[in-house]
Structure 1
Amino acid sequence: MDSRSHIIPLFLAIVITVIAVWSGLNPTDRAVWYAEVIPIFIVFALLIITYPKFQFSGLAYFLMSLWLIMHLIGAKYTFANVPFEWANQFLTPILGEDRNHFDRVAHYIIGFYSFPMAEWLLRKRKCGMGVAFFFSLFFIMSVAAAYEIIEWQYAVIEGGNAGVEFLGSQGDIWDAQKDMLADTLGALTALMIYLIARPICAFTIDIFNLQAVVSCQFFAKC
């Protein structure tokens, strides 16, 4: 792997570490913070541990980092109370709900993990493009459903304000279903980006050999 290709994941790792430290300083609800950061630390640790054996493209790392960052922000404030008024003014007329939409956007971004999943399947030659596309989509949908079950059980077991804040439904009885839909739409978006990025990578390899390494490392490794 070219030394230049380490710059993007290293930079993102530093940014995430700094935000994680900030997130842990006087969070709104410490119990909720602990519960929210568990999946972050698991994903972050897995990416670090597996890095020597497998490196994703720069774009894949960027997309994965978006969820880590948003989740750390949500953990600090609790998702229902993140300062997000500037975006809510734009999203409320579109989504038709008078609520804090930070949680919904975060779920949408979780779907971006379909991009690295498809990239891994194809680079490891586990399957063809069609299977990789649908497997990655269904993988995200499964994770989304599993996480909603975890939220529900945590709310039941923990109870009180911490349970309510972790669940983050904001009074919407269909919150779980809407969150899963947001995850699915995010996955479809990321897979569309992947389908576009791969031809860009291939074209650069065929035409501009000098730029092939840089282009493939950021967009989608072939």
Structure 2
Amino acid sequence: MTTKTISSLRVSFPLILALLVTAVIVWSGINPAFPQVWLAEIIPVLLLFIPLLITYRRFPFSHAAYSLMSVWLILHTIGAHYTFANVPFDWFNQHIDAERNHFDRFAHFSIGFYAFPIAEFLSRKKYCKPWLAALFGLTSIMAVAAGYEIIEWWYAELAGGDAGIEFLGSQGDIWDAQKDMLADTLGALASLVAFAILKPYRHLTAITH
């Protein structure tokens, strides 16, 4: 495989993911179940997606990092379209004999995947040792998870009515916030196992210097 072909692959894979995420975002904005909820849910997606597009040239992450980050962007955008409690996910819910829709748990698990790019960035920039970068990635996700639950509660109180209930998405579970934070943390741990195996800081450091 020539150097030109390898370079083309490096460019095309993130581009394919970016186009896929863009397509899902556009689709989600077409007749969403609750336009007010869609707007509130799509804001954090754009706050992550747009900076990734802008900074691609300055700091291209590994393909693994972009893949992991795309999972949450897509799942959260799907949840924004339907609201998380109403995503068509019956095949899984029935499989585990669940009384609630567990799609939101998968979305929360996938936000934990961002521990991987956090650790990758810190280690490739040589700001700290890889193990410390991984620890920072884990604690960052745990902090974001707690902060997001507070924002959910605040918005639900502010919006009120059906929009507030759908945005909160607790589906009657009094421990929903704690379970969501646990899912975020478990997702982070899973992604950091991948980080320890793949060691992106060994192969890609030269790209950003």
Q: State if a TM-score over 0.5 links the two structures.
A: yes
Give, in angstroms, the shift of residue 130 of structure 1: 1.9
Query: What's the counterpart of residue 162 of structure 1?
Result: 163
C-alpha distance in structure 2 between counterparts of 1:63 and 1:8, whole Å: 13
Q: Secondary structure at the match of 1:126?
A: coil
Cα distance per residue 1:159-207 (max 9 Å; x no partner)? 01000000000000100000000000000000001111128x96xxxxx
Q: Which runs of 5+ in 1 are unaligned?
A: 203-215
Query: What's the counterpart of residue 148 of structure 1?
Result: 149
Query: What's the counterpart of residue 193 of structure 1?
Result: 194
Query: What's the counterpart of residue 140 of structure 2?
Result: 139
2:63 is equivalent to residue 62 of structure 1: no
Give, in angstroms, the shift of residue 3 of structure 1: 3.4
Query: What's the counterpart of residue 18 of structure 1?
Result: 23
Q: Report the TM-score when normalising by structure 2.
A: 0.91
Give me the CA root mean square deviation.
1.7
Query: What's the counterpart of residue 73 of structure 1?
Result: 78
Query: What's the counterpart of residue 178 of structure 2?
Result: 177
C-alpha distance in structure 2 between counterparts of 1:192 and 1:87, whole Å: 26
C-alpha distance in structure 1 between counterparts of 2:22 and 2:110, whole Å: 19
How many pairs does the alignment contain?
200
Give, in angstroms, the shift of residue 6 of structure 1: 1.1
Cα distance per residue 1:1-53 (max 9 Å; x no partner)? 93321111100010011111110000000000000000001101110111121
Q: Secondary structure at the match of 2:199?
A: helix
Query: What's the counterpart of residue 47 of structure 2?
Result: 42
Q: Secondary structure at the match of 1:150?
A: helix
Give the counterpart letter for 1:134 in structure 2: L
Structure 1 residue ranges, 4+ long, deviating more than 2 angstroms after superposition? 1-4
Query: What's the counterpart of residue 127 of structure 2?
Result: 126
Q: Which runs of 5+ in 2 are unaligned?
A: 1-5
Q: Report the TM-score when normalising by structure 1.
A: 0.86
